Amino acid sequence: DAGVIQSPRHEVTEMGQEVTLRCKPISGHDYLFWYRQTMMRGLELLIYFNNNVPIDDSGMPEDRFSAKMPNASFSTLKIQPSEPRDSAVYFCASSLPPKGYNSPLHFGNGTRLTVT
């Protein structure tokens, strides 16, 4: 199993540009999560999907952020337009359904975003 795959690993962009982060979850995992991590705020849940359907997007900071999951093996997180305060590490994670202890999260390596 290849694990959760994220791309790119690093992204440096200028303020105002569009940024697209990509994620491929572990095959068979019904849940997909997008987290953002900063020193000040720790790991924050942005949005999560169940069977490709967004369940809770209350963590999405504002309308500049959008996420899609067109199929079970691919998701994107888009920021348009990007701002310097969006600089953070963005993690994608996937899991089995939340019943029981067989449902921990498996994280990708993350995308380190820097907006100048």
Q: How far is CA 104 from CA 36, 63, 115, in A?
A: 18, 29, 31
Of the residues 31, 60, 67, 77, which one makes contact with another protein according to CB under 8 A: 31
Instruction: Mark the segment that binds another protein (CB under 8 A) among 12-20, 64-72, 73-81, 90-98.
Output: 90-98
User: Is there binding between residue 90 and another protein (CB under 8 A)?
Assistant: no
* Residues listed for the chain: 116
Binding to another protein by residue 12, rule CB under 8 A? no
Closer residue to another protein in complex, CB, 14/39: 39
> How many amino acids of this chain bind another protein (CB under 8 A)?
25
The 3-state DSSP class for residue 46 equals strand
CB atoms within 10 A of CB 47: 22
- When asked if residue 16 is in the footprint of another protein (CB under 8 A), the reply is no
- Burial per residue of 63-76, b for 16 or more beta-carbon CB atoms within 10 angstroms, e otherwise: eebebebeebeebe
| Chain residues in the site for another protein (CB under 8 A) | 31, 33, 35, 41-43, 45, 48, 50, 55-56, 91, 95, 97-98, 100-101, 103-110
